């Protein structure tokens, strides 16, 4: 009974998340803050993400700042933490693939098997590897090593340091 109620709540939350992604918007003040916070190469990483990922990254950033975390490298990492979901050809992950990935993650063995596959299921692989991919992209963009490490490890089971704070804030959204 309790498990069913939790699944219903989680289902409603996911539907609300999907609706919010469809309506994602950025304020002029947020656009200006991104430009003032990120380096030019990092701004390109932010700009390559679809609007719904940009909105999510901003929400994670705002959560950290509201909680009193104003470390500049953590704030920069928050703003680009999902940049690894953009494929090697600069194509962002379509919103429908997020739905598929979210469903598959409920069955970890199947999710991992699908994530290892390429071809038509390549977006799931990219989703599964996005922390590693984002760290690689940030390193290539010249981001400092401590920021790259936070991006690389924020999805680890027990991250530490900036990665742990990034994971906490990401899980709020």
CB 87 within 8 A of CB 126: yes
Residue 153 confidence (pLDDT): 98
In this predicted structure, what is the pLDDT of residue 24?
78
- Residue 65, both tokens: 């700042």
Alpha helices in the chain (DSSP H): 2-22, 28-37, 40-48, 51-66, 72-80, 95-104, 108-116, 122-128, 130-140, 145-153, 161-171
11: nearest Cα among 95, 106, 115 = 106
Q: What is the mean pLDDT of residues 9-31?
A: 67
Inter-axis angle of helices 130-140 and 145-153, to 10 degrees? 170
Say if CB 85 and CB 127 are below 8 A apart: yes
Q: What confidence category does residue 119 fall into, taking pLDDT thresholds of 50, 70 and 90?
A: confident
Which residue matches tokens 């994971």? 167
Q: How far apart are CA 41 and CA 47, in angstroms?
A: 10
What is the model's pTM?
A: 0.86
Tens of pLDDT, residue by residue over 99-115, are: 999 999 999 999 999 99
CB atoms inside a 10 Å sphere around CB 34: 21
The span from the CA of 123 to the CA of 102, in Å, is 12
Sorted by sequence, the CB contacts under 8 Å of residue 58 that are 6+ apart come out as: 26, 30, 34, 79
Report the pLDDT value the prediction gives residue 136, as an integer from 0 to 100: 98
pLDDT reported for residue 151:
98
Cβ atoms of 93 and 128 closer than 8 Å: no
Tell me: the pLDDT tens digits for 27-80?
A: 999 999 999 999 999 999 999 999 999 999 999 999 999 999 999 999 999 999
**The Cα angle at residue 45 between residues 43 and 46, in degrees rounded to 5:** 65
Q: How confident is the model at residue 1 (pLDDT cuts 50, 70, 90)?
A: low
pLDDT digits (tens, 9 = 90+) for 141-169: 999 999 999 999 999 999 999 999 999 99
Domain boundaries, given as residue ranges, for the chain: 2-171
């Amino acid at each position: 009974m309790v498990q069913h109620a939790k699944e219903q709540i989680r289902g409603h939350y996911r539907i609300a998340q999907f609706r919010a992604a469809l309506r994602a918007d950025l304020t002029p003040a947020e656009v200006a803050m991104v430009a003032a916070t990120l380096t030019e190469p990092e701004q390109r990483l932010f700009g390559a993400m679809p609007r719904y990922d940009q909105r999510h990254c901003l929400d994670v950033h705002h959560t950290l700042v509201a909680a009193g975390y104003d470390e500049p490298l953590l704030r920069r990492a928050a703003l680009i933490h999902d940049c690894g979901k953009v494929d090697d050809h600069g194509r962002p992950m379509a919103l429908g693939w997020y739905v598929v990935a979210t469903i598959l993650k409920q069955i970890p063995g199947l999710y991992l098997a699908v994530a290892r596959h390429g071809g038509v299921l390549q977006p799931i692989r990219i989703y599964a590897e996005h922390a590693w991919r984002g760290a690689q992209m940030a390193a290539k963009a010249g981001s400092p090593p401590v920021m790259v490490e936070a991006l690389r490890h924020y999805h680890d089971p027990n991250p530490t340091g900036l990665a742990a704070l990034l994971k906490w804030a990401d899980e709020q959204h």
